[in-house]
């Protein structure tokens, strides 16, 4: 009986010592660290600029007329070739053209009807005569006319009679000499750039789950 009690005592002591050793070992082990949250990287979308193209020119000057008509009264003179002339003459043909220069290929500034009186100013050879013709009521303008379009001098017609004629020339351009040509200025549109930046997209932080700490084994009580 005594031997049986001794064996049980030895076994219980061994179990107790083993339990104490296990408890000490578990106590010395550090508790597992909680998992740190890992933030998801921020996702951003690069903005796409929107640009409206525009001409590079700052301004464009546009002439108001495609072909500028000849200017009434802006005649070319040839002092070294002209010969002074005077006296009134009558136009002998209908729609006789008047030019700013002694050239029948140039555009005419007016046309004269038959029987209108004009005053001679100068002659250039035998082909052209520079005359002063009625371009309006009480208004006289200079111009070159073909010498074949007028007759001989009429001594009874004075300067006052020529200016007072009710019949006047059909003027091709009413623009007076020295008037500036009109131009229109068109400004270039400005270049417009529009940039839209979307907000950054950030993922929510990951949830933290702490592992349960293992319980310490208790030694059996006697």
CB atoms inside a 10 Å sphere around CB 134: 23
- Do 205 and 36 meet the contact criterion of CB atoms below 8 Å apart? no
pLDDT in tens, 16-36: 767 767 766 655 555 555 555
Q: Give the pTM.
A: 0.50
φ, ψ for residue 23, nearest 5 deg: -65, -40
* Per-residue pLDDT tens listing for the chain (222 residues): 556 666 667 677 777 767 767 766 655 555 555 555 555 556 556 566 555 555 544 444 445 445 567 889 999 999 999 999 999 999 999 999 999 999 999 999 999 999 999 999 999 999 999 999 999 888 999 999 999 999 999 999 999 999 999 999 999 854 544 545 444 444 445 555 555 555 554 555 555 555 555 555 555 554
Q: What distance in Å separates the CA atoms of residue 204 and residue 13, rounded to the nearest whole number?
A: 55
- Among 42, 128, 30, smallest CA distance to 85 is for 128
Work out whether the CA dihedral 77, 80, 81, 83 comes out positive or negative.
positive
What pLDDT does 58 receive? 40
């Amino acid at each position: 009986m005594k031997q049986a009690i001794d064996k049980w005592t030895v076994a219980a002591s061994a179990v107790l010592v083993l339990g104490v050793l296990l408890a000490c070992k578990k106590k010395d082990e550090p508790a597992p660290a909680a998992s740190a949250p890992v933030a998801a990287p921020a996702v951003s979308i690069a903005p796409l600029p929107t640009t409206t193209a525009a001409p590079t020119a700052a301004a464009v000057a546009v002439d108001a007329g495609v072909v500028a008509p000849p200017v009434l009264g802006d005649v070319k003179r040839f002092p070294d070739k002209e010969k002074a002339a005077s006296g009134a003459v009558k136009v002998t043909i209908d729609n006789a053209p008047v030019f700013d220069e002694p050239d029948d290929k140039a555009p005419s500034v007016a046309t004269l009807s038959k029987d209108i009186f004009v005053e001679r100013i100068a002659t250039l050879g035998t082909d052209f005569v520079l005359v002063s013709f009625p371009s309006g009521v009480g208004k006289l303008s200079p111009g070159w006319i073909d010498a074949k379009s007028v007759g001989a001098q009429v001594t009874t017609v004075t300067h006052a009679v020529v200016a007072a004629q009710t019949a006047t020339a059909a003027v091709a351009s009413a623009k007076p000499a020295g008037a500036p040509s009109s131009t229109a200025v068109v400004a270039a549109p400005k270049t417009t750039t529009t940039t839209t930046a979307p907000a950054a997209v950030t993922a929510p932080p990951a949830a933290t789950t702490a592992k349960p700490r293992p319980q310490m084994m208790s030694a059996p009580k006697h």
